[in-house]
């Protein structure tokens, strides 16, 4: 197998089309509405009950970041979980795949399209959190930037998981449901099984995701992320492994 510059150009064309697809679709509107609703509710709670928020979360920013992993998981469910399977189910593959383009270029384009869209939306959310931090705390902690970095790696990992499921199953609805189940409770149940059997489930994706939001401290307003480097490593490995498996499943898949 050889790689040409043209392969990347084609991936860029596919990625652009994926982003356009999502921007014109209903899922994007649903996601925007959910995010705006979540942000508005959190801001209202922070504004009207600031004292109680500080007591529970140590910092207003912690409250906003507490739900970050859910927002990222929802993005993976809405966008990445259908990105491959819909080409087969909706028969659009009959046009795209019969063109002079490597399947790897299609895969990269679709993956990059999802990641770019999810990242932009999460960055916008973080900008909102930064504005809230300025409003409530009067400053922006550097922890917010570290959290953003870890959140980006969580996007890679959840997108990898969702695209892997999307590359294997036959229906978009099945893929969405499986991604939802896997990311929202199967991972947690497995982690719990490890924990109750006396093993630290530090390598599980849901455990690593806890590092996106600051740990609650009662030592003033200091924000602390729990072992962000270790969490980033776990997420990077989850992202890499699931992406490689998804790529393999995709290039072997026949119409």
Partner 1 sequence: MLSGNPIEIVKLRKEYGEFVAVNDLDLSVKKNSFTGFLGPNGAGKSTTLKILTHLINATSGEAYINGIDVTKDPKKALTNVGTVVETPEFYPYLTPKETLKYVGQIIGMSPESIMSETDRILEKVKMAEWADKRIGTFSKGMRQRIALGQALMNNPNVIILDEPNSGLDPRGQAEMREILKNLRNNSNNLTVIMSSHVLHEVSDLCDRIALINHGKLIVHDDISIIGKDDGTRRMIVKVEGIPDSGMIERILQLNNVVSAERFGNDIDVTIKGDDSIRVKFYNDLGALNIGVYGVNEDSALETTYLKLIKESR
Enumerate residues 128-157 that contact partner 1 by CB under 8 A: none
Least distance CB 14 / partner 1 (angstroms): 8
Indicate whether 25 belongs to the interface with partner 1 (CB under 8 A). Answer: yes
Return the range that interacts with partner 1 (CB under 8 A); candidates 60-68, 87-95, 197-205, 232-240.
87-95
Pick the stretch among 91-99, 133-141, 150-158, 176-184 that binds partner 1 (CB under 8 A).
91-99
Give the 3-state DSSP-derived string for the chain, with helices as H, strands as E and coil as C: CCCCHHHHHHHHHHHHHHHHHHHCCHHHHHHHHHHHHHHHHHHHHHHHCHHHHHHHHCCHHHHHHHCHHHHHHHHHHHCHHHCCHHHHHCCCHHHHCCCCCCHHHHHHHHHHHHHHHHHHHHHHHHHHHHHHHHHHCCCCCCHHHHHHHHHHHHHHHHHHHHHHHHHHCCCHHHHHHHHHHHHHHHHHHHHHHHHHCCCCCCCCHHHHHHHHCCECCCCCCCCECCCHHHHHHHHHHHHHHHHHHHHHHHHHCCC
**Interface residue with partner 1, options 52, 56, 91, 120 (CB under 8 A):** 91
> Total residues contacting partner 1 (rule CB under 8 A)?
25
Question: Least separation, in Å, of the C-beta of 107 and partner 1?
Answer: 14
Candidate list 8, 44, 47, 90; residue touching partner 1; CB under 8 A = 90
For residue 91, the minimal CB distance to partner 1 (Å) is 4
Q: By CB under 8 A, is residue 210 in contact with partner 1?
A: no
**Does 3 engage in binding with partner 1 (CB under 8 A)?**
no
Structure tokens at 230: 């270790």
241 binds partner 1 (CB under 8 A): no
Contact between 101 and partner 1 by CB under 8 A: the answer reads yes
Among 30, 51, 72, 99, binds partner 1 (CB under 8 A): 99
Interaction site with partner 1 (CB under 8 A): 6, 9-10, 13-14, 17, 20-21, 24-25, 90-102, 254-255
């Amino acid at each position: 197998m050889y790689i040409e510059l043209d392969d990347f150009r084609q991936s860029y064309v596919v990625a652009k089309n994926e982003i356009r697809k999502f921007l014109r679709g209903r899922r994007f509107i649903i996601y925007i509405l959910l995010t705006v609703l979540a942000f508005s509710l959190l801001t209202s709670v922070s504004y009207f009950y600031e004292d109680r928020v500080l007591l529970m979360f140590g910092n207003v920013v912690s409250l906003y970041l507490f739900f970050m992993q859910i927002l990222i998981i929802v993005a993976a469910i809405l966008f990445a979980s259908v990105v491959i399977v819909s080409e087969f189910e909706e028969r659009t593959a009959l046009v795209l795949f019969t063109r002079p383009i490597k399947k790897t270029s299609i895969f990269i384009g679709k993956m990059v399209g999802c990641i770019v869209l999810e990242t932009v939306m999460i960055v916008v959310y973080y900008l909102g959190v930064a504005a809230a931090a300025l409003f409530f705390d009067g400053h922006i902690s550097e922890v917010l930037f570290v959290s953003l970095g870890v959140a980006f790696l969580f996007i890679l990992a959840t997108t990898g998981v969702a695209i892997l499921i999307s590359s294997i199953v036959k229906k978009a609805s099945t893929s969405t449901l499986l991604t939802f189940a896997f990311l929202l409770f199967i991972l947690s149940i497995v982690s719990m099984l490890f924990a109750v059997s006396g093993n630290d489930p530090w390598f599980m994706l849901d455990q690593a995701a806890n590092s996106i939001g600051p740990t609650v401290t009662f030592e003033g307003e200091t924000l602390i992320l729990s072992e962000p480097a270790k969490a980033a490593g776990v997420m990077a490995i989850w992202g890499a492994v699931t992406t490689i498996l998804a790529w393999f499943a995709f290039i072997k898949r026949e119409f």
